Amino acid sequence: MALRFSAPRRQLLPGLAIALALSLGVGLLGSCQNRRAQQAERERQEQEQLQQAARQRQLDGVVRQCQAGQEELQRLADELADSEAALSRLAQRRYSPNPRPPAPDPELQQRYTIADQELERERHQEAVQAWEQQERQRRSRWQAELERERLQLKRRLAQQREALAQHNPAVLQLDGGEGLNTAMLATYLSCDREALAKLAP
């Protein structure tokens, strides 16, 4: 016996079919978009892993290079520190004059005649004048020698700074001062991996 649908029910069938098709299409579209999103996330993670591996390889090279230059850096830094200390000591050096000729003893002078006392005073004045002249000459030679040593140390410091700049400019003061950047020096002398990673661009 053939089934017959009423007119309203027959009119609902095409709408149900369209709704079902739309539902399936939306589901398939959502599933396709979800797969694409998952694929994009996998690719992003793979790219990050590749970049991280490249950074680690680069850091390995930085650590090896640091360790290879440790001994030379220590030597250069020690030499520069010694020269700076020598220059500081030189700046603190003070001239020490020879003793001034002592004045005649008053009690002893009383035993002399007036003529002898006058003669003793003249001898003392002559001794003082000779001492003053000798001290001027001696101080002049001392100052010339001090300046010669200062210039020699300055030249040595300039050469040592140039050697450090060629070896590792990061350990020098950024403001162009003659000292060392102690924090950077400690990093490159220890070759600490984490500290070096923070310096990587």
112-123 per-position pLDDT tens digit: 788 888 888 899
Give the model's pLDDT for residue 141: 97
For 131-154, the pLDDT digits (tens) are: 999 999 999 999 999 999 999 999
Cα(27)–Cα(29) distance, integer angstroms: 5
Give the model's pLDDT for residue 117: 81
Residue 21, H or E segment: helix 7-92
Do the Cβ atoms of 91 and 83 come closer than 8 Å?
no
| pTM for the whole structure | 0.64
What are the residues whose beta carbons fall under 8 Å from the beta carbon of 136, sequence distance 6 or more? Answer: none
Would you call 82 helix, strand, or coil by DSSP? helix
Residue 3 has pLDDT above 50, yes or no: no
For 15-70, the pLDDT digits (tens) are: 655 655 556 555 556 666 777 878 878 877 778 777 677 777 888 888 999 999 99
**DSSP code of residue 166:** H
Give the model's pLDDT for residue 2: 47
For 61-104, the pLDDT digits (tens) are: 889 999 999 999 999 999 999 999 999 999 999 999 999 999 88
